[in-house]
Amino acid sequence: MGRVGKVEGGFAQALRKGPGEISHFRRPGRTRGQSPRRCRGNYVGSLAAFFSALYFCPALVSLLAGPFLMDLDIKQDFETAMLKHLLFKSKLRSFLYGSALAEGPARDPDQCSLGVWITQRRQSHWGYVPEWAALDRAHRQVHAQANELMDMYTQGFREQALQGLTDLLPLTDQITQLLQTIQNKLRTPG
């Protein structure tokens, strides 16, 4: 009971004070000149108080882990974009092998989930990266070629459409490379 009071009185009291009010911070129970070995138990209590402060103070978490969380958000967002791109390629391949496909998102780059994602990110605070324009251009070229392949397939030229799918692969790889380039530029400061 006594330790909890010390921890709560020390660390929690420091958290309640404003940044200008804290002149120094000393672990609870430790006096000047006392060796760290003698107050090891209070150190564990201080850690518990620190982590409970993180739980109850999201602003402190964002201050301490902000850059890491931002990198994680960027990474997850771009992984989502990669999955959208792979899903498009898979759906196009399935269509050319005979499966049904909702043609609107496959034919129109502005209806496609990756196209919507690109438009939203270009208009956000990430829009300063110059490769967004190249990504949008390559994405539109993929859809133009996909339209041609889908038209060939519906007109009965199935073998030519499948051959055109292999010709489309370098352009789809370019989209993947551009996504990785933009992600790396956003994750590296400067």
Residue-wise pLDDT for 70-102, tens only, equals 567 888 999 999 999 999 999 999 999 998 888
Average pLDDT of the chain is 77
Domain 66-187 is found in CATH 2.20.25: no
Residues of the chain with CATH 1.20.120: 66-187
Note the pLDDT of residue 1.
44
Q: Which amino acid is residue 82, in one-letter code? A: M
Among residues 43, 30, 162, which one has the least CA distance to residue 95? 162
Specify the pTM: 0.63
Q: How far apart are CA 138 and CA 128, in angstroms?
A: 18
* Predicted confidence band of residue 44 (pLDDT cuts 50, 70, 90): low
Q: Are 127 and 184 in contact (CB under 8 A)?
A: no
Q: Which residue has the tokens 């989209």?
A: 175
Alpha helices in the chain (DSSP H): 2-7, 13-16, 40-56, 58-96, 103-107, 113-122, 131-154, 158-187
